[in-house]
Structure 1
Amino acid sequence: MDFFLERSHGFSFLFHRRTSRVIHIHIRMPYIMQFVALGIVHKEAVKQMSNTQPLFQLIAERRSADHKSTLHQLREEGRVPAIVYGAAAENIPVHVQGRDLKKLLQQGRAEMFELTVGADKPIHVVLKEVQSIDGEPKHADFYVVRENQPIKANIPLEFEGTPIGVSKGGIVQHVVTELEVEAPAKLLPPSIIVDLASLDVGDKLHAADVKLPEGLTLIAPPDTLLASITAPQSSQAADDVVEEDTAE
């Protein structure tokens, strides 16, 4: 083939094999909405894309028993037992291909995607919970949703930018790595980009300081500390000595 495809963090790149030039770039909608929040993409342009962004697709097969021997056999075959449930849906025990579930986890746990169970019509679900051992998924819960149904979810934070304070010897402290938000299921992003570039030594970044993508509402307490820039330990020790001398 003259072309090859690479996927990474919500982006798909189609390369020409001989020249390694990028022929086509595909960006998933939740990432585009973050570009809108950052002022990189105008939201009017997004309206023309919203109906063309494909959802991640996962295939599942029904299973009939929860016996340990049956579950063990499924896992030995590279399958992951799971349950499909929802407010208006019956509980359906299923199993999915382990490598496909890993792909889903790599691109973002909170996003809505399509799940097809056997010969049934595809349904929209979100990954509510996954149980893993040594990085290997062992069980998953899929929650049935509607596209515009408000969903609360903990979204991973992606910290970007080198803080000003780091050039002065400051140390970045990441206190929280995910943030609870609410949004229509179709707008839940795989992650939230947090820019730390403007932080100086002594500065703190709280949940209320984060510019959320359009359609997301902050559920976590606004004063939740996400990150801070602390002074170097030697500098802090010197400041403490000065304070003690002043007190005397």
Structure 2
Amino acid sequence: MVLALKAEARRGTTKSERKGLRSNGKIPGVIYGSNITSQAIAIEEKQLLALLRSHPNAIVEMDVPELGKQSVMINEVQRDPISRFVTHVDFHQINMNEPVTATVRLDFHGDSIGVREGGILQIQHHEISIRCLPDDLPESIVVDISELEVGKNILVSELKLSNKLEIKTDEHDVLVSILAPQKAEEEVEADTTEASGAAAEAADSKVEDDK
């Protein structure tokens, strides 16, 4: 998916200039790449936040002053450590004919057998890293969990993807698993505790009898 975004040129790079931009609803940033000269830019905050919420890993066609339209991807987002507000964003210019490495969201679909039996769905990864040509970059990857049973899991290596996509995440990583029902575990623990208590009482009783 290719989205459009318009950038403005930044005339300065001082701390006061960046603060002034943010107070006017704009986020300072930079665009760079092997085919362009690094340039300081500013993006409308509303547009950027909408992009981060919906398609943070999408290819963006950015209209850049003096550079024209450039295909870019977000490389880094800096946030205030306390407020978590976005303070700066880096865009990397890409070549549409060369592979890129990107993070893609996982969409877990299906009513799993294990959950229907009372198991607990535990998602370990919400996204994975892949490498492909920009035009082949999927918006998300569907993971079917409908046949997943209690005690079972799905590994990265089990994903069924197009041969145009190269997975960069460790193939042995667990994406999702179904844990045994918590109630059953508690009952087993209670039974074990009760059995231990009964054994202790029997031992105490025997001691009293021996006296």
TM tier, smaller: 0.7 to 0.9
1:152 deviates by 1.1
TM-score where L is the length of structure 2: 0.82
1:227 maps to 2:190:
no
Distance in 1 separating the partners of 2:113 and 2:86: 39
Distance in 1 separating the partners of 2:113 and 2:170: 26
Decide which of 114, 117, 124 is 1:165's aligned counterpart.
114
Distance in 2 separating the partners of 1:137 and 1:211: 35
Is this contact kept in 2: 1:156–1:178, CA < 8 A?
yes
Structure 1 residues without counterparts, runs of 5 or longer: 1-27, 29-54
Is this contact kept in 2: 1:111–1:187, CA < 8 A?
no
Is this contact kept in 2: 1:111–1:186, CA < 8 A?
no
SS of the residue 1:106 aligns to: helix
1:72 maps to 2:19:
yes
Distance in 2 separating the partners of 1:222 and 1:119: 43
Partner residue, 2:48: 101
Partner residue, 1:190: 139
1:214 deviates by 5.4
1:177 maps to 2:126:
yes
How many matched pairs? 190
Q: Sequence identity of aligned pairs in percent?
A: 29
Decide which of 60, 67, 71 is 2:7's aligned counterpart.
60
Q: What amino acid does structure 2 have at the position aligned with 1:111? A: A
Q: Deviation digits for residues 140-190 of structure 1, max 9, x if unmatched?
A: 111111112111122222222221111110000011111011111222223
Structure 2 residues without counterparts, runs of 5 or longer: 196-211
Q: Deviation digits for residues 44-95 of structure 1, max 9, x if unmatched?
A: xxxxxxxxxxx31100011132211110110011101111011232211100
- Of structures 1 and 2, the larger Rg is shown by 2
Distance 1:90 1:191, change over 3 A: same
Q: CA RMSD of the aligned region, Å?
A: 2.0
Decide which of 69, 83, 99 is 1:150's aligned counterpart.
99
